[in-house]
Chain A
Amino acid sequence: MIKTHEAWLEMLMAGFMSKTKNKQVLFDFSDILFRHFTWLENELIELGESYSYDRDAVPIRVERLSDLLQAIIVRLNEIDLQLLSSPDKELAGRIASDIHYMVDVLSHMNDEMISAFNMERKFPGMALTQEATDALTLFLFEETYKEYELILIYNYLKAHSNDAYMNRIFQILIDESFFHLKRFGEMGAQMGILAVPRIVMKELYQVDDVVAFLKDGINEELAAKEECKKLSEAVGKDSPELAKFFDFINHQENYHIALMKDALKHFTGKDYE
């Protein structure tokens, strides 16, 4: 599961870096690897084995896409080898089949030069003030990590819940966070500051008090709305297009707040004020 976690992130980062039709293929593969991750997690839960979302650092700084694709192929081959000792042979067979196809496609993928680490902090065709650029830089680092953290938290909660009502909510929140992570990651790559989100500490996703977590989550979403509003105002003069994007993200947070309020009501039987 650790190597699948790493491969998922590595593939996702490759998708952020790509500027060609490779991008969608890499995103699709990263989605498949995330689903492998959840399958393997479920297997561990059914076996009653303890596990965590710890992983090693995932080096991604390359000059050519092919360098990263080679590293991904090596990692996928390692997973393929590990699957031989998996107790669920049917699951292992399904995952291995995906991996063999992915390795074949990655081996033949057209190469690209990578600019996702040049630290220029400029959007193509857009001139932002230094202060707006700094604010956007900080926002992208904070929020890219935050979305990754949320995906892991909601995924862990979902994996350990048999409550269909809550699992619908968790799944929507996972999907929303994936959308945001992909957009922010792409923006980070465009600005030349792409980075793998840091490892999430266990106590964040192994949530003891779901009600407190949801209440904190609503407050964090309200704070995120404010950040989006400030960023929209900051970049509005230079880029109406970027301002509209942050307004859109701001309004999207309303879904998250509504979902968390629903979840709170489900848990406590009371409306959240």
Chain B
Amino acid sequence: MDAQLIEHMMNPKNYGPLEGADAQGIGKNPDNGEKVAVAIKVGKDEDEPYVDDIRFQAIGCTTTVVAGSMLTEEAKGLHFKGVYDLVDATMHFLDKLPPEDAACSEMVALAIKAAVDTYKKRQNESDYPVITYKVVYSCVPKEEKV
């Protein structure tokens, strides 16, 4: 367990509600009720929208919180294309992770994607409901290596 990981556990970045958010998105694990809610504020850079601020909250384990801390930090400041690239890169990386860790990271990535997708939908329909995406990986309880 390296120091950077412990730092994310002790002090998760971007955790908590975001006042005045432009859109929210949810990533959910239907098997165990765990979920991640992401909220974003969107800025405009020469008419191209970008993630100006981002926060997340989780009903889940420490791994989910660490993944949320890392991925939201990566997403902050990115244009939407960059956010989709980040989500794609995360999804491609999931096969290399243990299933329980994959489900946690997938849940965060999907919540970020859902927030951006909700924002885009709301450009045409202001009261479009918050989008929820469900994970495909199964979260198997981790066997302690002790």
- Give the docked Cα–Cα distance between A201 and B9 (Å): 18
Bound-complex Cα distance A109 to B16 (A): 32
Contact A193 B16 (CB under 8 A): no
Given B10, B65, B145, which contacts A193 in the complex, CB threshold below 8 Å? B10
- Write out the residue numbers on chain B whose beta carbons fall within 8 Å of the beta carbon of A223: 141
User: Is B97 close to A, CB under 8 A?
Assistant: no
List A residues 64-105 near B (Cβ within 8 Å). Answer: none
> Which of B9, B10, B12, B59 meets A204, CB within 8 Å?
B59
Residues of B within 8 A of A133 (CB): 1
- Please determine whether A132 and B146 come into contact, CB atoms closer than 8 angstroms: yes
How far, in angstroms, from A193 to B9 measured CA to CA in the complex? 9
Nearest to A232 among chain B residues (CB) is B146
What are the interface flags for B4-30 relative to A under an 8 Å C-beta threshold, 1 for contact and 0 otherwise? 001101111001110000000000000
Q: Which residue of A lies closest to B146 (CB)?
A: A234
Please classify the interface of chain B as helix (H, G, I), strand (E, B), loop, or mixed, using the class held by over half of its residues.
Answer: mixed
* Contacts between the two chains (Cβ within 8 Å), count: 62
Docked Cα-Cα span, A204 to B1, in Å, equals 29
B146 touches A138 (CB 8 A): no
What distance in Å separates the Cβ of B140 from its nearest Cβ neighbour in chain A?
A: 13
* A135 touches which of B3, B9, B10, B146 (Cβ 8 Å): B146
B103 at the interface (CB under 8 A from A): no
Contact B146 A137 (CB under 8 A): no
B10 A195 Cβ-Cβ under 8 A: yes
Q: How many residues of A contact B (CB 8 A)?
A: 31
User: B144 contacts A234, CB within 8 Å?
Assistant: yes
Chain B contacts of A61 at CB under 8 A?
A: 11
Q: Mark A47-74, 1 if CB is under 8 A from B, else 0.
A: 0000000101100010000000000000
A142 & B144 in contact (Cβ 8 Å cutoff)? no
Cβ of A231 and Cβ of B11 under 8 Å apart? no
How many Å lie between the Cα of A234 and that of B58 in the bound state? Answer: 29
B1 to chain A: which residues have CB within 8 Å?
A: 133-134, 137
Contact B144 A141 (CB under 8 A): no
In the complex, what residue of chain B is closest to A52 when comparing beta carbons?
A: B17
Contact B10 A198 (CB under 8 A): no
Known: A117-B10, A142-B61, A193-B9. A198 touches B15 (CB 8 A): yes
Specify which chain B residues have a CB less than 8 angstroms from the CB of A31 in the assembled complex: none
Of A194, A198, A233, which is in contact with the most chain B CB atoms at under 10 Å from its CB?
Answer: A198
| B145 nearest CB neighbor, chain A only | A131
Question: Does A230 count as interface, using CB distance less than 8 angstroms?
Answer: yes
A-side contacts of B62, CB under 8 Å: 138, 141-142, 145
Which chain B residues lie closer than 8 Å to A195 at the CB level?
9-11
CA A15 to CA B97, docked complex, whole Å: 38
Inter-chain CA distance A135–B12, complex, in Å, is 19
Kindly list chain B residues whose C-beta atoms are within 8 Å of the C-beta of A57: 15-16
Residues of chain A within 8 A of B9, CB atoms compared: 137, 141, 193, 195
Q: Mark A234-259, 1 if CB is under 8 A from B, else 0.
A: 10000000000000000000000000
Please tell me if the beta carbons of A54 and B17 are within 8 angstroms of each other in the complex: yes
State in angstroms the CA–CA spacing of A132 and B141 once bound together.
Answer: 18
- Does B37 have its Cβ within 8 Å of any Cβ on chain A? yes
Asked whether A119 is an interface residue with its Cβ less than 8 Å from the other chain, the reply is yes
B59 to A, closest residue via Cβ: A201
Known: A135-B144, A199-B57. A119 touches B6 (CB 8 A): yes
Q: Which residue of A lies closest to B12 (CB)?
A: A198
Give me 29 A-to-B residue pairs in the complex whose CB atoms sit less than 8 angstroms apart, sorted by A's number.
A54-B16, A57-B15, A121-B6, A131-B145, A131-B146, A132-B146, A134-B145, A135-B145, A135-B146, A137-B1, A138-B62, A141-B9, A141-B62, A142-B61, A145-B62, A193-B9, A195-B11, A198-B57, A198-B58, A199-B16, A199-B17, A201-B37, A201-B59, A203-B59, A230-B146, A231-B144, A231-B146, A233-B146, A234-B146
> Top 10 A-B pairs ranked by shortest CB distance?
A234-B146, A195-B10, A135-B146, A141-B62, A134-B1, A230-B144, A141-B9, A199-B16, A201-B57, A135-B144
